[in-house]
Homo-oligomer: A and B are copies of this chain.
Amino acid sequence: MLITKRVEFSASHVCRSPLLSDRENQELFGAAANPYGHGHNYAVEVTVEGNPDPVTGMVMDLKKLKDVIHREVVEVYDHRFLNHEVPPFDHIVPTAENIAIDVWQRLDLHLSKDGSRLHAVRIFETPDLYVDYFGGAA
C-alpha cells in the first residue's frame, strides 16, 4: 500500500554548471542558463509504503507526514533562489532530477521508520515535466 502527499513551493533557479563554459551552458540549458534565474511553482509528491494499521486504518500518522514534509522541504525551499540559498545547489545544478535526490535525502530518515518506508519522490517542475526518484543509485 502506498500513500502520497502533494505539496507545492515557489522557488527560482539557474541551470548552469561551473564545470562548463558559458557557451556550453547556453547550448545545453538554453534560456534556463540565464544567470539571473527564473522560477517555478514546484509540486512535490512524497510516497510512503506500508500496511494500514488495523486500528487506525492509516499507513502512517497523516499529520506527522504533513509536518515532516513542511519542516524538511517546504520551509527550506519555498520562496528561495535555490542556487544561492539552498545547499547543495551552491555547487550542484538544481535540475528537477537533483532536487528529487535532495528531497529524498531530507525525508528518508524521518519517514522510513515505525513500519513505513519512503518509496518515491516526484518533482513537477511544470505540469508537463516531472521526475521520479526511488532512492539508491541515482
- Write the residues of chain A forming the contact surface with B, with a CB cutoff of 8 angstroms: 1-8, 10-13, 15, 17, 19-20, 28, 30-32, 34, 36-41, 51-52, 55-59, 61-63, 78-81, 84-85, 92-98, 100-101, 126-134, 137-138
Contact = CB atoms under 8 A, between A and B. Distances in A.
B36 A39 contact: no
A132 B80 contact: no
Nearest to A13: B39
B1 A81 contact: no
Contacts of A85: 34, 36
A52 B97 contact: yes
Copies in the complex: 6
A56 to B, nearest CB: 6
A94 B57 contact: yes
Contacts of A51: 137-138
Nearest to A119: B132
A59 to B, nearest CB: 6
- 5 closest A-B pairs (Cβ-Cβ)? A39-B39, A12-B12, A36-B81, A12-B39, A57-B93
